[in-house]
Amino acid sequence: MKDRLERISNFMVSLFAGIASFVFTLVAVIMLRDLDEQIAASLTMGLFALLIVWVASERPNSGHARAVSALIDRLLAVDKGDLTSPAPAVVRHEMPALASAVDNLFAQVRSNLDNVHVMALYDPVTALPNRIHFKGEADRILKTRGPGERVALLFIDLDGFKEVNDNLGHALGDHVLTMVANRLREVVKAEARPAHEPQPLLARLAGDEFTLLLPAVEDAQEAERIAGLALAAIGQPYSAAEHSVDMGASIGVAICPRHGEDLTSLMKAADTAMYDAKAKGRSRVSLYRPEMAAAVEQKIMTEKALRQALARGEFELAFQPQICARTGSVLAAEALLRWNHPTEGMRLPGSFIAVAEESSLMVDIGDWVIDAAAATLQRWRAAGMTQRLTFNVSPRQLERPDFFKRLRETLAHTCAPPWLLELEFTESLAMKCDEAALCELAALREEGASVAIDDFGSGYSNLSRLNDMPLDRIKLDQGLVQGVDVSDGARTIVSAVIHLIHGLGCEAVAEGVERTEQRDVLRAIGCDLLQGFAFAEPMGEAEFVAWIGDHMLPPARLPRIA
């Protein structure tokens, strides 16, 4: 109807223009005689004709004008949040191609916004809700819980994931994280509630940290049961690009309202419980207890004091001799870290090393030990001493790609001879050394340094790997040595271990020798070096140097056993 009216309107305009032109021309021909008047009339008729042409050309485009106006109104509606309305009908009629393009444009915008929404609220690796999404949903669940209802929060931290990333690379590490997320989804699916009730909420917070919110649990025991299922699921082996990965998790559990009524309190409690699980050996579940908060506070205070100790120069080295079982000569000394606390006195490593290992402080403390050991070797060499100096290397130090470079630079700067240096690695760390670290150790050993494994017998060892490692000495764990003089079984085990060490081409070192009876038995069954209170306690450098002169024969450096 509208189009028909428009055509009639255009016809009337054209008819009027034609009649007006005819009348105007007729009048001009009849009445005008003078040439100037005829010229003026011709110009006027020409302008009038142009006007008629313009009107005739504009009228057919009036539909386009309305379409453009409607399109402008539609675009301005975006400012009010309208991204769903289609292009106006007049645009679709007058300019169908433009209408289709506008609809496609808005569809793409909506798709992009949906993608941005997903990226903002979901983890791109596991597709689980991220920290922001989890916080919003968890707050809502906690605020709407019914009277007397309990809500459990599980804080899940993977054990050993950093080694997976380091050994297999971040791509396979992400693949393992995806498998972890899928296993946790299966646990959550098994605990799903009726559709009208709040569902368990699983999320990845960051890195190797996951969290699980369980609405309306019966009691703490139910939460611990579900946490146990999650722990068992995560603990199953993983297969990633022909690699088999074993990994566990430490899980902390907090209950609302018992341990807090808001998400911040629950997260803090669950996080504290998770650290308690790690401190007790990892791969376990720990329910929050108030006394755990005191332990965390003590950890924070210790970490702060350690930073101050580094800045104030409060660390010292103590030295305990290693004695040749055959000759009684002092062949080496182990450098042991001590913290001369300004108010608590001398603190042993057991009171602070675990805290340092959990932070970056262990790297800084390890650097201090390297500097102090190199300076000590420089002084001993100047004094004509030939005892080896051995110290323990932390896993945190070995993680640094520049560890061996820095060690060499320190030795070169202090002119400390590498052949008087011995690096000790715990048994567990030695089993995790990658090929790059083993190559660096082999190169350092070629330069004259010695390599030892500490605490042998306290963990799991791959004998084939031990045979391939560049080793000079293996130190028996104190637990093996403790009953060697009173137990036939202990004596048999230690004797077998010593023969195994000799079979690997290494010297056997027994530490923790506290009684002369232990010393005599160890010497009789072939142990090479002895260390412990039966000979001397750890002492300061000046005391150690004096002790050598007062108690022992002149040392002789033994040739390396191939």
In the chain, the amino acid numbered 331 is L
Q: Tell me: the pLDDT tens digits for 271-301?
A: 999 988 987 888 899 999 988 888 878 888 9
Radius of gyration of the chain (CA): 42
DSSP state, 515?
S
Q: Which two tokens stand for residue 248?
A: 């566990």
Q: Tell me: the pLDDT tens digits for 351-398?
A: 899 888 877 789 999 999 999 999 999 999 988 898 999 999 988 888
Give the separation between CA 168 and CA 161, rounded to whole angstroms.
10
**Above 80 in pLDDT, residue 196?**
no
Lowest mean pLDDT among 28-37, 430-439, 487-496: 28-37
81 vs 250: which has the higher pLDDT: 250
Contacts for 391 with CB less than 8 Å, ≥ 6 apart = 334, 335, 369, 373, 422, 423, 424
Lowest mean pLDDT among 48-52, 232-236, 380-384, 504-508: 48-52
Contact 212, 151 (CB under 8 A): no
Q: Tell me: the pLDDT tens digits for 330-359?
A: 999 999 999 999 999 999 998 899 888 877
Q: Which residues pair with 206 in a beta bridge?
A: 209
Of 103, 110, 82, which Cα lies nearest the Cα of 118?
A: 110
Mean pLDDT on 400-426: 91
**Above 60 in pLDDT, residue 50?**
no
Give the separation between CA 321 and CA 547, rounded to whole angstroms.
10
Lowest mean pLDDT among 41-45, 95-99, 227-231, 291-295: 41-45
> Taking CA 227 as the corner, what is the angle to CA 223 and CA 230, rounded to the nearest 5 degrees?
145
163 vs 514: which has the higher pLDDT: 514
**Could you report how far apart the first and last alpha carbons of the chain are, in Å?**
106
Backbone angles phi, psi at 539, to 5 degrees: -145, 165
33 vs 540: which has the higher pLDDT: 540
pLDDT tier at 443, thresholds 50, 70, 90: very high
Give the separation between CA 307 and CA 305, rounded to whole angstroms.
5
Lowest mean pLDDT among 292-306, 455-469, 506-520: 455-469
Of 390, 331, 323, which Cα lies nearest the Cα of 530?
A: 323
Of 514, 511, 471, 476, which Cα lies nearest the Cα of 495?
A: 476
**Above 70 in pLDDT, residue 79?**
no
Contacts for 27 with CB less than 8 Å, ≥ 6 apart = none
Mean pLDDT on 139-161: 89
Contact 498, 526 (CB under 8 A): yes
Give the separation between CA 303 and CA 275, rounded to whole angstroms.
15
Quickly list H helices, 236-360: 263-279, 290-312, 353-357
**Above 90 in pLDDT, residue 78?**
no
Specify the pLDDT at position 422.
95
What is the average pLDDT score of the chain? 82
Contact 111, 173 (CB under 8 A): no
411 vs 54: which has the higher pLDDT: 411
Q: Tell me: the pLDDT tens digits for 91-121?
A: 677 777 777 776 777 677 666 555 555 556 7
Mean pLDDT on 228-252: 88
Specify the pLDDT at position 191.
83
How many residues are there in the chain? 562
Quickly list H helices, 320-360: 353-357
**Above 80 in pLDDT, residue 133?**
yes
Give the separation between CA 102 and CA 70, rounded to whole angstroms.
12
Q: Is 58 helix (H, G, I), strand (E, B) or coil?
A: helix
pTM over 0.75: no
Residue 209's CB is within 10 A of a number of other CB atoms, namely 16
pLDDT tier at 10, thresholds 50, 70, 90: low
Specify the pLDDT at position 559.
37
How is 354-401 classified by DSSP, letter by letter? HHHHTSTHHHHHHHHHHHHHHHHHHHHHHTT---EEEEEPPHHHHTST
Specify the pLDDT at position 557.
40
Q: Which two tokens stand for residue 438?
A: 């083993």
**Above 70 in pLDDT, residue 530?**
yes
Contact 502, 526 (CB under 8 A): yes
Give the separation between CA 386 and CA 548, rounded to whole angstroms.
12
